[in-house]
Structure 1
């Protein structure tokens, strides 16, 4: 299977997903046989489900609210109380560069932030701030790969796939943990 097939979902792959509400809105958690492959936040279940279908057009998607409820509960619990941490098996799909960025993001402690510039320096590519920002934007594992902890060099918030308001709220909750 090629990398693009893996990203789109192999026609023989099976991805289970479920939707739930949390204090930040709707949440969709999807998992392959390897682990959680998507955690998405949004305003409505329809849009989240459509985005999942668009992201994995070749995979068999199965709404399975009972199948992996404890993983969904862990994600929601983490959103509500970040101090508990989040440990889940992940199916991380991305380029080698994206994965290097995402591994670095996973090392940022709860309650701390780093700038795009600092991330670029950490991965040994000090001039790649824009590519780091693009890798953050490509992340489809909200909170598990904490791209919300990445801020501009001046400390201000910048874009977040699931809304800057959610990013601000996640950071607020983490700083109070």
Structure 2
């Protein structure tokens, strides 16, 4: 019962694991809480582990790789064709386990904490820019209700506002 490939479906608090041996026979179907995942994986000999690329997958990939496992992240759209029956966490873990072994599968590189930090700054800036646009458009719409027409664009709206 040596696990060679393990599919992990990540969730908020409960993770589903699906493991197969070298012949492809299922040797593990397990549900684990977040706190018990790394402890469990410490007891498993190094193997190939697949996970869907999601919000926390890069963190988990770094932690699991630190235990000596080979970790591959798969875009969720590439896992979907491998789901055989109704969509649930156990079926997703099985599909991930199947998809990670495919030779033509494309994988997402694991990001470092520094890379994730830079991406987080870009997303935060993008969110602020969108919120600013929404606010300025709302101000222009409210002014228009009183017959005041302000030009489009942040600089032109703010000039009117200060004037």
Q: TM-score, normalised by structure 1?
A: 0.26
Q: Which has the higher helix share?
A: 2
Higher Rg: 2
